Structure formats: structure tokens, C-alpha cells
Structure 1
């Protein structure tokens, strides 16, 4: 049976665009179908961190995946910039997690010690810096008196997330991919002779394979092909200041200075359903902590506060799964679309193109949430 495309990717956000870009690089005929700009888009709340530092605590496979992805980022960024013509403002100079008391610093050291112990085959990638070590290592950093120290992730960095998304989409087109915007997928139907009919708006398109990467819409689409993944929205609020002289030489958890000079402050983690409201309470909490860390922000003017929704699984780790009922249907979900972009565009896309996910991804199957099966 003739199919219009080899692969249809439902969703052109951070995950879908990276997967589509990677598949197009494997010589596949790929169509990405995207919804409207008013849809719930996690990319709008993305802090832009390329971060493995402490990620996957209690989940060693997620830890390994994150570390592998950040290690691949320099080469990935270089290739993407060359293909897209976009400058990503990517830097990998390390990343900090500030601690506001000696007890907090001690607890952080204990937690990271356990985190490293999960993967004894990997060399340590973090270290604890006392306040004195912080001051010596970053002499231009004017920290508040409450900062007792920090953990430092040597492999961490940051990127402009909006440029990253634009670059992925542009490079995807450069590789011969096709995008239809304003066409959210509403139905996926397996065809008797193999392949799928995908409905987007008033159009039906056929493909040999389909990859669901539609963020919060993925749960509904997945259920159409036997991929029932439990996900929930989590609200994240952010603040951003006017452009400032250099204050923060490397990014930190919840605090980073962009290449343009603005300072991003965040991010909240709120279980409020699909509520996109911003709140003064959240703004006060974020601003107070930021000022404890960087008192120099006191005279800065805040120019924007906004909120968006993250995609969260019950355990916070990604989901990668192929449908056992409808071969050729896959789903990819995560809340770390920036960090894992190098993985989605590289190893994951190559595995999809080869028709079989590696056994190393079995741990990310959504069957882990099925209590009866696990029992």
C-alpha cells in the first residue's frame, strides 16, 4: 500500500521537532503536524537549561540518559547551527545549585553522593563548592550573605530555547521534511494493510509509521493506538528582568542570565491542572530567593511574568514506547525536551528509523505505571 509519508510526527514542539529532524536525517519522508500557537506548549515555559546535574535521583537509567545527552550536546549544537543558520547561544561552562545554609549544603552533598553511587561505572560529574570556593572560582559573582555554597555540575550549560526550537524546525525543512501548522492531530487509525491514517483538521494523511510527541495531547492520541500513558500538567511560573550587566557567569537551578543580558527567575512546580494564571505569591517567592542569592538584582526592573504547563509522568521520567497492538506506532514524552534534544535527534531517531527501540529504553516504557503488571 502506498503511504504519503514514511513517518508522521504528531507534534512539532521541542520533542517532536527533534525527532522529526533526526528522522529526516535518516532519509525518511517525514511530516510533522502541529497545532495552534494558543495550544498548551511546554516550550513557552522552558528555562533553557541543558542539565544532568542531579537528574534521575533514584532512577539510574534516567541519570545515564541525561548524562549521555549533555555529553552529545556540543556536537549536536554545532551541526544544528550549521544546518539551520541559527545561533543557539549554547554554552557549557557548568551549572550551579545554590544552597542557603550549611545544613542544606550538607544534604546536597549527601544526595549527590547517592546519585553518583547509582552509576558507579561513570566518573563523577559534580562537586560541592563551599562559599569560599565559590568566591574564588567566580570572583565576579556578588553573592548574598545567605549563600553557604553550591553544587557544581561540570557538564551542564544553557541555550536559548526559542532559538533551539526554531533551528530544529528550520533544519528539518532543510533536510526535506514537511510541516503543517495549525493542524493538530485529532485521530489516528491503523489501516488493515499496515500503516496509519492520521486526521488533522479536515485532512487525512497516510504513513507507514506514526510518532506521538504532542505534549499534553499525547495521552488522548496514544490511547488510539494502544499506548495509554498517564500524564498530567504541571504549572511553571517564570519572571524575567530587563537587560543587565553581567551578574551570573554560569546558569543556576532557577536562575540564569541569558545571552541578551536578561535574567530569568523561576521556576515554580504547581499542581493546579490546566490553570495558566500567574500569581503574586509565586512572584514574591521567586523574587525573594533570587535576591538572597544575587542582591544586585534589587534595582532590576521586572518586565514579564508568565506561566506555562509542563508534561509530567507519575515519576517524572520520560516515556518511550512502541505499541504492541499496532506495530509502527510510537510515543515519546518528557519534560526535559531541551536536555534530551540531542538524544531525540540522534540515537532515538536512528532507532525509530531502524524500526526497533533498544532494550536500554525498556525501563522507560509506561507499563512501569501499571501496578498490577509490576506486582
Structure 2
């Protein structure tokens, strides 16, 4: 039986961010990664490093997200120096585009709510079409306007994924591929994890397996309220870079292509396939947003599943003694704070004040699994 101080269950960006942080603190860590057969949001991620809109349903999420993007440059610099991988961080500001006046009004209300969470210290602007086109001339005349925030940006999620795995290995972390956890049992010293091929004894465990946290939670008698929401992304052929700002609906990549998104599909279940009606609608919206795309070829598309909680905010909770739940949708945006603050919480066992209200208790008794 393998032994570790802390077993991190999951192999994506969230899990590895925490695992790397724990190794930097000197803890003996094992990562149990189900592998490429898992539904892995990390490889389908749009790559935003983003604050806009976060916290309208849970006010503490706004300062948490702001703090996360503020320390992201430290993470990017450390990964470059330690692993040699440039994760292509850019933080030049971000836009959210609205096609209709009704959408723009809803966006304005949401942004005002977010700003109120931090007593006005959150900077943003609501732009009409004229102001928007002054900032990005390529925006089409049919676009009603949008919101702008200087905090937002992007990173390459696949490079980040690669860099975190390389950093973990170089720090001497123990990594078990193809190690999905079939059962969790409590022991006198902590937990025993059964993968079907081996058993792992750990004093503490971290549940960081995305949508898989629902099943892991039930092994501990806890209901983790996460659901899949599919998003579909289109990738264009290489085009000249015509704007520097990142947009929630579109962004240039360092490779010269553009990523175009904009779907929120709650009824897709765990199906990651693309669908013609949704990709057609995304392409139609993209051409309205940016008329220059009408002559640009789409090379490929994919679908991926977001990990969404009832208030679209992270959950951080010690769901049983020494068992730490870490689940969120924005694994890229929150990577730096997961490596620092969340890893520190798992290490010390005392939850910091800024994390205290992210627990399951905000959902009432929903966290108690059925017998």
C-alpha cells in the first residue's frame, strides 16, 4: 500500500494547482488521476483569466476572483522559470459583448451588482456601440454595446496544464495515472483510497476531480451540488491579430487562430459532442460581433463541460475531518490562489477568513447525502 500525507484526487488544473502548492510547502503528496478517459474540463477550457460577472450570486466571490487575477503574474513567472513553459499570460483588459439593448441592460445590472460587492473598488465601464467601436473598431454596427474591465485577460490552458504537471514532477510529487478512486474508507490515521488496482493510505485527502466530486462526496456521505453545463468552441484558421483585448465570446491565440464561444447548455448531460444548431448560432453571433469573420474558415470545433454549482461559485469545505472539497468552474482564473491560499488551507487545516463562506452550508441541508 502506498502512503502519503495528502492524496489529491483529480488530475486537472484545479487538482494540480493545489498539489503543486502542497509540494512547495514540503508535504508528501500523491495525485490520483483517472486519466484521459475522465471528463476533463482543463483540455476544453476557453482560457480566460477573468473577473467580470463573478459574484453576482455570491458576493464574496468578487474579491476572491480579483485577488486571484492580481497574483496570476507571479504564477506565470514562476512556471516559466521552474518549468521553461510560457503559459502566454496576457492581462490587457476584457470585454463582454451584447447584441441587443435588452442584453446590455441585463449586463449593466449584473456588473453593478458585482461592483457593489467590493464597495465600488471594482473598476468597469458600460459601453454603447460608439464607445465600443472606439475601443475595438472591428466590432460590428449591430452590437448594442458591452462591458469592459481592466482586470481581465487570458492564458493558454493546455500550456498551463502541461506546466503544472511538469512542476509537480520536478518538485518530486508522486503521480498515479489511470487511478480513478472507486471507494474511500476512513482509518485510524486518515483515509484509505481504493483505485481497483492499488490502495493509498493518506492522512488527508483533497477532492478536486471536477464533476467527479459528486461521486466522491457520496463516498463520504456528502452531496456535492455540481452539474455539467456544456459549452462549444469554434477554432478559426490563422488570421491577423486585429485586437488585443480578450472577449468572453472571442479571443486571439498565440498560435494565430481565434477561439469563438458562447453557448451555455444545461440539458446536455455528460455529452461533450458538438451540435450543428449550436455551432451555427455561435458562428452567426460571431459574424455579427465581428463582420471581418464572414470570410474566415472554421477549422474545428469541440464541446466541453463546465463544473457548475447552484450559485456558479466555488465550493471550499472540509466535508469530513481531513477531507477537503475543492470544486469550481474557473480553474484557470483561480489557479494562482489555489496554489497559494487553498493549498495553505489544506496544509494547516484552518480555513482563512476570505474562504469561510464558500462552504456547503450556504446550500442548506442539500449537502447531506441520502442514506
Normalised by the length of structure 1, the TM-score is: 0.93
* Residues 254 and 370 of structure 1: CA distance in aligned 2, closer, same or farther (over 3 Å): same
The answer on 1:234 being equivalent to 2:229 is yes
- 1:361 maps to which residue? 355
- 2:341 maps to which residue? 347
- 1:170: how far off? 0.7
| Gap regions ≥5 residues in structure 2 | none
* Matched ranges for 1:57-136 at <5 A: 57-120=56-119, 123-136=121-134
**Which of the numbers 158, 165, 181 marks the counterpart of 1:162?**
158
- 1:301 maps to which residue? 297
* Residues 372 and 6 of structure 1: CA distance in aligned 2, closer, same or farther (over 3 Å): closer
Equivalents in 1 of 2:233, 2:270: separation in Å? 16
Q: Does the 8 Å CA contact 2:142/2:288 hold for their aligned counterparts?
A: yes
- 1:364: how far off? 1.4
- 1:317 maps to which residue? 313
**Which of the numbers 188, 193, 204 marks the counterpart of 1:209?**
204
Matched residue of 1:109: which SS? helix
Matched residue of 1:218: which SS? helix
- 1:129: how far off? 2.8
Q: Does the 8 Å CA contact 1:227/1:331 hold for their aligned counterparts?
A: no
- 2:244 maps to which residue? 249
- 2:34 maps to which residue? 35
- 1:368: how far off? 2.0
Q: Does the 8 Å CA contact 2:79/2:86 hold for their aligned counterparts?
A: no
| Gap regions ≥5 residues in structure 1 | none
Deviation string 1:221-247 (CA, Å, 9 cap, x unpaired) is 122224321221111111111111113
- 2:259 maps to which residue? 264
* Residues 359 and 308 of structure 1: CA distance in aligned 2, closer, same or farther (over 3 Å): same
- 1:103: how far off? 4.7
Equivalents in 2 of 1:100, 1:270: separation in Å? 19
* Residues 247 and 75 of structure 1: CA distance in aligned 2, closer, same or farther (over 3 Å): same
CA RMSD of aligned residues (A): 1.9
- 1:31: how far off? 0.7
The answer on 1:197 being equivalent to 2:168 is no
Q: Does the 8 Å CA contact 1:351/1:358 hold for their aligned counterparts?
A: yes
Normalised by the length of structure 2, the TM-score is: 0.94
